Structure 1
Amino acid sequence: MRPDLRSALSLSHRPLVGDGAMGTFLYQLGFPVGVSYEEFNLLKPGVIGDVHRRYVEAGAEVIETNTFSAQHGKLSKYGLEKKVEAINAAGVAIAREAAGDRAYVVGAIGAIRAGRRRAVRTATIKREYEEQIGAILAAGVDGLLLETFFDLEELSLALGLIRAKSDLPVICQFAVEDTDRTHDGVLLGEAFRRLKGEGADVIGFNCRSGPNAILRAMQTIPRDLGASLSAFPNAGIADLVDGKVVYSATPEYFASSALRFADLNARLIGGCCGTTPDHIAAIAKALRDYSPSPERENGNAGGVDSAVKTGAGAEERPVYDGGRFGDEPSIVELVKHRHTVIVELDPPRDLDIAKFMAGAKALKEAKADALTMADNSLAVTRMSNMALAALVKERIGIRSLAHIACRDRNLIGTQSHMMGFDALGIDHVLAVTGDPAKFGDLPGSSSVYDTTSFEIIRMIKQLNEGVAFSGKPLKQKARFVVGAAFNPNVKHLDKAVQRLEKKVQAGADYIMTQPVYDAGLIERIAEATKHIPIPVFLGIFPLASGRNAEYLHNEVPGIQLSDEVRERMRGLEGAEGRAEGVRIAQELLDTAMKHFNGIYLMTPFLSYEMTVALTAYVKEKSAVIAQAGV
């Protein structure tokens, strides 16, 4: 006879296997977005039951009801606000039938404020939670799961409402990115301690992040808290491929992550967005004979990359040499005659720019030809790259190259943005699609996508003709040099090149690739793009650690590491990991510089010392090549 759920979730019990995603799995099965998947409890109960059964057969021991958004306010978007009780009751019944005696059933309740663009009154939230909680409890569950909460106060409110009605086990889960705090600013350790005191049985994380970020967040939780934890990560970062949302983290990667979660006191481990029965089967297999690993228990389980956490203190603002640009040749002209280096430095996620500016100054001194800044990459809010590009240009005296994402601005905002760049003398840009907003740190934001990357290239070049996006004439012409992005880390390189050709036809002046970690692929890219009439800047992203390598390979769209590189980085951390990452990058540069004059370096975690060293390496090697007359 199996124990009750509370006993099964205790630290004295082995980890339980949770289920995987419902919504994204339904999407993968062909059901469209923009409908209420919770209404399927009434309209398509067989479909929902089949998804539950697939997870149970994969090894899930805890099944979540399909009721995440089954609350009055969220259902009202579909005219279903009068069916709250029916939808929740049906969700419990379907899950219970699918689980049988093989799995526990927990009632899933999502945050109400998350994703709402307008403030929701506390009284309204309380009323909506009470309605849903009452319906789920009346239907009969083994426990309740409060998931994807951003703020401690809202999660505490929902927990209190449950505890006023029931003594069933409650699992509380936050959605966090790369941070040690909740969205309302409370340290995670303090938040967990408070929730435990208020009656939470298990506390953990789900959604918003893949395994790597959730492992880091879990390491901030004091071990003396003595609480059972949970982990339901996304399958990496979502990407748009041929108009469809896809996730890259493999089941094998989830299996290895599950062991690290377990060593950090996770007693419930499953998956969120992008995960499938295959991911759950891999977790179940990994945990079947689980026993704590001394190596993983020894203070580095989950492998927080030390490069992420160093340099947190404010640095003294450096002295800048200033200076404006004259009529310098563009990078397109420079790269025709010599090796030319573009270095990416991520804008900060807070208001402190000291380290960013210190990095820009160091890269200028290393003779980088341009500094490029992403436009809220991965849909995570960062400081305006327009502001930083202007500061870098004025204070440091290095050419700025700004990314322009289609995601954040409509046509009005995009033209206004480009006119501002022109006024500031920032004439080098890179047009990118941009990751969907729903997968970033403000999931309630809209993804605009008025244009595609092809269209925005054409429209920016139209400004160079003195013509506005609307077709009306402008009083003067812009001088933009427009780049296009290229991802060569794909199964069919020829199809990726065909897409690239369309960007050239749209008017792109140069190409910047995603990072490449295989010398053989560099040579194939050179061969596949030799007919492209514009320069290609080959992307190199030095690895900071073994865990950083696994994160990039498994969770970040468009990046694939070779088996050799992953093996070389395996187990390396801190200075040792960064040193090996630089060595690997230098070896890749040796191949890249034979085929490409354009080099695009990306800086990990603002560790600009790495890209400073690689910039110097390119410059020194280029000088040797030039002297030898090669």
Structure 2
Amino acid sequence: MELNFRDALKSRILIGDGAMGTFLYKMGFPIGVPYEQYVSIKPEAVLDVHRQYVEAGAQVIQTNTYQANGVKFARYGIEDQVEEINRMAVRLAREAAGDQAYVVGTVGSVRDGKRGNVRTLQLTDALHRQIHALLSEGVDGLLFETFYDLDEMKLALRIAREESNVPIICQFAAEDSGRTVDGFTLDEAFSQLVQEGADVVGFNCRTGPNGILKLIDGLHSDKLAYSVFPNAGAASFVDGKYEYTAGPDYFATMAQKFADRGACLIGGCCGTTPEHIAAIAGALDGYVPAPPVVAPKQSAAVEKTVSAVVQAKWGKARRNEESILDKVKERHTVIVELDPPRDLDISKFMQGAQALKDCNVDAVTMADNSLAVTRMSNLALAALVQEHIGLTPLIHIACRDRNLIGTQSHLMGLDALGIDHVLAVTGDPARFGDLPDSSSVYDLTSFELIRMTKQLNDGVAFSGKPLKQSANFIVGGAFNPNVKHLDKAVQRLERKIAAGADYIMTQPVYDVDLIEKMAQATKHLSVPIFIGIMPLANGRNAEYLHNEVPGIQLSDAVRARMAGLEGEAGRAEGVRIAQELIDCAIEHFKGIYIMTPFLHYNMAVQLTTYIHEKTRVNR
């Protein structure tokens, strides 16, 4: 390379490489040993991946050493191979890079965001051994990636700076809270790291391009050099394998936005491939910066909790007398989803539930920590909605969060509260949410959860022991029609009905043709289907859903209509698109399932009123 690495970082935007572990996984190499060990047991595979990224246009290649430290390797009994594997990883990366790319030594977090799980002396030793091995082999720089707390990042940085003056890139895996796990704002954390000697600061992993873009827009300094290595959207678990949703074209578009915001190094993390890197390189070839992006100001803090006076008017709890199954037999029936809050303020949620009650929604449904992001208990909110609003609650139950004991206990509590409408879902993997340390339980599949919930209706516990009384659950199953092979998805749906599903709720649909195909493909089924309609809030929301959220696909026409729209204009167009979809849906299905984006419940009220007017419902 004509410039040293530090000068290159200052003079132009460099293209980084993409994922190693998930790409090896995609290539068919099984999980069993750490992928870092492949530099010694399958060096040709690691070399091949590096070469593919260089050929795709990567100008910075990372060594395959993310978890190549003594603490992580001790889990596999190979802690004595730390120095050897790190050195071999540098040699392989250097062989692939030649004179076309810089080689940076990758160091991952030892703690993984788990405060106190590794003693300081043990942590220091693990970082020192790995960093020393990488530097001894002559890397062009160091990349500290997927760190969660500032304390560990600063320790790694100090160890490196005591030994070398190579360029150092410090990347956090951060969620939209805008803080490290030890409580520092990202502005504070980055400022301290620069003072400690970091050349570049940035983000990788935990989130896709949209999430990282929001984090950058929330920063207040415009003088920092950023690096960004996003995941390829959120991962989904399909047929026993992890799959990612964000494609190369989307990464190309987002790369330009990162460049506009001052990124000097752009690559990819989990789920990205050489195709993603080639798209980034192509998008930034001849790049001309757009006008500076002004980050939106933070809104003032909302008032906390609903006053006792307001709560008093909501009345008493009741046990549901008419189910959605009864309602949907008689007329078009509307279920609306409201997201539980991510903090302790329930005022907007309850106001939204009241507004939905006032416009005669048939039930309000609440997800169970969707996308593995922590939210308030939907059981607690369901009880409040039932007691104070007088509206039928329908809650989702994810297989991810509770073992068999917890799931039965949860259902028994629902029965005691008179909450009998539930939806069984698998749940997104915990490792991709805001608490990646959490375990994904999955004692049950969604099929088994449906069957065992209905078993409670027979007065039989999960253990097979008789109960003194029976439950009265009405159990729904989820259906994703946004797939290549609709017939196979319908076969899966038939299995859920065979397991005992009383009704079906679909993922959001954005294509009239697909609604008509669904009507034909499911007309033989014996249970009602509630078609998912989620109005889009703006153009960014449309692109995020299409590219980063598993199970959602937007048509090209819908994306074109939403492109560039923000604020009220975006919401208005989103409602118009939803109304067009509803026009088709009510011709074929009597159940409509409206999902409320970002708690904009007025959009759901508009659509519910529209459905009532179209179907001439008098209530």
1:299 counterpart = 2:297:
no
Single out whichever of 357-366 and 201-210 deviates more from structure 2.
357-366
Q: Distance in 2 between matches of 1:187 and 1:579?
A: 35
Q: Distance in 1 between matches of 2:565 and 2:595?
A: 20
Conserved? CA contact 1:315–1:355, under 8 Å: no
Conserved? CA contact 1:84–1:132, under 8 Å: yes
What amino acid maps onto 1:417 in structure 2?
Answer: H
The CA deviation at 1:316 is 6.1
Deviations 1:352-383, CA, capped at 9 Å, x for gaps: 22221221122111211111111111111111
Q: Name the CA shift for 1:118/1:181 in 2 (closer, same or farther; >3 Å).
A: closer
| Structure 1 equivalent of residue 419 of structure 2 | 426
Q: How does 1:431-470 map to 2 (within 5 A)?
A: 431-470=424-463
Deviations 1:48-92, CA, capped at 9 Å, x for gaps: 111111100100000000000011111111001111111111111
Q: How does 1:282-361 map to 2 (within 5 A)?
A: 282-294=279-291, 297-299=292-294, 313-314=302-303, 317=306, 319-320=310-311, 321-361=314-354
RMSD of Structure 2 on Structure 1 (CA): 1.6
- Give the one of 395, 398, 420 matched to 2:391: 398
Conserved? CA contact 1:25–1:275, under 8 Å: yes
Q: Distance in 1 between matches of 2:48 and 2:513?
A: 44
**Unaligned regions of 5+ residues in structure 2, if any?**
none
1:41 counterpart = 2:39:
yes
- Give the one of 556, 581, 592 matched to 1:599: 592
Q: Name the CA shift for 1:115/1:74 in 2 (closer, same or farther; >3 Å).
A: farther
Deviations 1:311-334, CA, capped at 9 Å, x for gaps: 852356262412222452110110
1:250 counterpart = 2:263:
no
Provide the identity percentage.
Answer: 65
| Structure 1 equivalent of residue 273 of structure 2 | 276
Conserved? CA contact 1:541–1:585, under 8 Å: yes
Q: What SS class does the counterpart of residue 164 from structure 1 fall into?
A: helix
Q: Distance in 2 between matches of 1:34 and 1:150?
A: 25
Q: Distance in 2 between matches of 1:311 and 1:354?
A: 15
Deviations 1:460-506, CA, capped at 9 Å, x for gaps: 00000000111110000000000000000011111100100000000
Q: Name the CA shift for 1:62/1:327 in 2 (closer, same or farther; >3 Å).
A: closer
What amino acid maps onto 2:294 in structure 1?
Answer: G
Q: Distance in 1 between matches of 2:110 and 2:259?
A: 30
Q: Distance in 2 between matches of 1:327 and 1:23?
A: 50
Conserved? CA contact 2:317–2:383, under 8 Å: no
| Structure 1 equivalent of residue 208 of structure 2 | 210
Conserved? CA contact 1:54–1:277, under 8 Å: yes
1:585 counterpart = 2:578:
yes
| Structure 1 equivalent of residue 51 of structure 2 | 53
Q: What SS class does the counterpart of residue 163 from structure 2 fall into?
A: coil
Q: Distance in 1 between matches of 2:345 and 2:20?
A: 39
What amino acid maps onto 2:264 in structure 1?
Answer: R
Q: Name the CA shift for 1:133/1:327 in 2 (closer, same or farther; >3 Å).
A: closer
Q: Distance in 2 between matches of 1:313 and 1:503?
A: 42
Runs of 4+ in structure 1 deviating by more than 4 angstroms, as ranges, are 115-118, 309-312
What amino acid maps onto 2:271 in structure 1?
Answer: G
Q: What SS class does the counterpart of residue 9 from structure 1 fall into?
A: helix
Deviations 1:87-111, CA, capped at 9 Å, x for gaps: 1111111111111111000000011
Q: Distance in 2 between matches of 1:365 and 1:121?
A: 56
The CA deviation at 1:185 is 2.3
Q: What SS class does the counterpart of residue 574 from structure 2 fall into?
A: helix
Deviations 1:399-441, CA, capped at 9 Å, x for gaps: 1111111111111111111111111111000000111111112
Q: Distance in 1 between matches of 2:4 and 2:115?
A: 40
Q: How does 1:124-143 map to 2 (within 5 A)?
A: 124-143=122-141
Q: Distance in 2 between matches of 1:274 and 1:310?
A: 34
What amino acid maps onto 2:272 in structure 1?
Answer: T
- Give the one of 503, 514, 528 matched to 1:535: 528
Q: What SS class does the counterpart of residue 78 from structure 1 fall into?
A: coil
Q: What SS class does the counterpart of residue 292 from structure 1 fall into?
A: coil
- Give the one of 344, 361, 364 matched to 2:357: 364
Q: Distance in 1 between matches of 2:218 and 2:293?
A: 15
Q: What SS class does the counterpart of residue 454 from structure 1 fall into?
A: helix
What amino acid maps onto 2:258 in structure 1?
Answer: F
Q: Name the CA shift for 1:462/1:310 in 2 (closer, same or farther; >3 Å).
A: farther
- Give the one of 400, 406, 425 matched to 1:413: 406
Q: Name the CA shift for 1:157/1:118 in 2 (closer, same or farther; >3 Å).
A: closer
**Unaligned regions of 5+ residues in structure 1, if any?**
none
How high is the TM-score relative to the length of structure 1?
Answer: 0.95
Q: What SS class does the counterpart of residue 537 from structure 1 fall into?
A: strand
Q: Distance in 2 between matches of 1:28 and 1:117?
A: 32
Conserved? CA contact 1:61–1:104, under 8 Å: yes
Q: Distance in 1 between matches of 2:608 and 2:304?
A: 23
Q: What SS class does the counterpart of residue 103 from structure 2 fall into?
A: strand
